[in-house]
Amino acid sequence: MHTLFILKATHVDLLTLQSIGKQTFFETFADTNTPEDMQKYLNETFDTVKLSNELTNPHSEFYLAYINKEVAGYLKVNYLQAQTELKDEKAFEIERIYVLKEFLGKQVGQALYNKALQLAKDRKATYLWLGVWENNARALAFYKKNELVEFDKHIFVLGEDKQTDILMKLNLLT
């Protein structure tokens, strides 16, 4: 039996976020991208100053998931002007949900998604949205299972590689 809990990350968690962010992204995408593109993306995205700024942005929040006191995954959400695209004041974005490979299948991703859904409802958002790589079958199946639907596409640049993300959303006005 394992105990799963989620805590909001603060500036004290910067190095933990940086570490789990790099590790989970690498575990998820290293097999399908060049080492050069992966390194460039990881260096830019998880740069200490950039991550520190994101942690202090009043419209972004990070959450760490723990299983038995061990970090298992994390969540990043954005609202208002912190959203990566739509910038709709009625929208709530899940920018990242990542789980360490060793904890896949232990409901960590579902717990983080449920946390994001509750945060969106607490903020009275009318819909939740996210972008997911078109070739990430596991994530696409997960979001479809959670009733998100495709509504658009956009280009996501990983290193020098332009990839297509499917934009998905869930209407919260039910």
Take residue 144 and report the two structure tokens written for it: 């479809």
Would strands 91-99 and 127-133 be described as parallel, antiparallel, or unpaired? parallel
Take residue 44 and report the two structure tokens written for it: 């830019």
Element spanning 129, H or E? strand 127-133
State yes or no: is 74 an active-site residue: no
Take residue 59 and report the two structure tokens written for it: 């419209």
Please state, in angstroms and rounded to a whole number, the distance separating the CA atoms of residues 100 and 72.
6
Side-by-side strand order, sheet with 4-8: 4-8, 60-67, 70-79, 91-99, 127-133, 161-171, 149-158
Please state, in angstroms and rounded to a whole number, the distance separating the CA atoms of residues 85 and 4.
31
Residues labelled catalytic? 143
